[in-house]
Amino acid sequence: MARRRNRRTAWPGAEQSLDIFKAKVAEKEGFKAVRGKPDSVKYEVARSLGVPLHQGYNGHLKSEDAGKVGGRIGGSMVKEMIRMAKEQISDSSPEQRGSSSRRNKM
């Protein structure tokens, strides 16, 4: 029997920020994100990939097709988070970047 995953975030209250981030990434990828309906992106992605995803029950959906949709959205979000982290690291001063490595050597 399949289990439903727990959809809570690691930080309570982060859901709204994640929804906003998801919408920005989707728009950057060329998909239309509807405010207040973060799941709308997955239906648009599914349509663009030819995946028969509908609201409600999707038990007929192949795991490969579900992975195509989720991978397109989640993969883009991960790439953007990595880009943001690299940018943040490069913007920090050398002293800030080196402080943690100096601590590890002691």
Q: Which domain holds residue 64?
A: 15-95
Number of Cβ within a 10 Å radius of residue 45: 21
**Among all chains, which residue has been given the structure tokens 């709204």?**
16
Classify residue 1: in a domain, yes or no. Answer: no
Classify residue 2: in a domain, yes or no. Answer: no
Classify residue 68: in a domain, yes or no. Answer: yes
Q: Model confidence at 106, in pLDDT bands (50, 70, 90)?
A: low
Among residues 31, 17, 35, 37, which one has the least CA distance to residue 73? 31
Classify residue 103: in a domain, yes or no. Answer: no
pLDDT tens digit string along 68-86? 999 999 999 999 999 999 9
Number of structural domains (the chain) is 1
Classify residue 60: in a domain, yes or no. Answer: yes
Stated pTM of the model: 0.68
H helix intervals, the chain: 15-28, 40-49, 63-91, 94-105
Q: Model confidence at 34, in pLDDT bands (50, 70, 90)?
A: confident
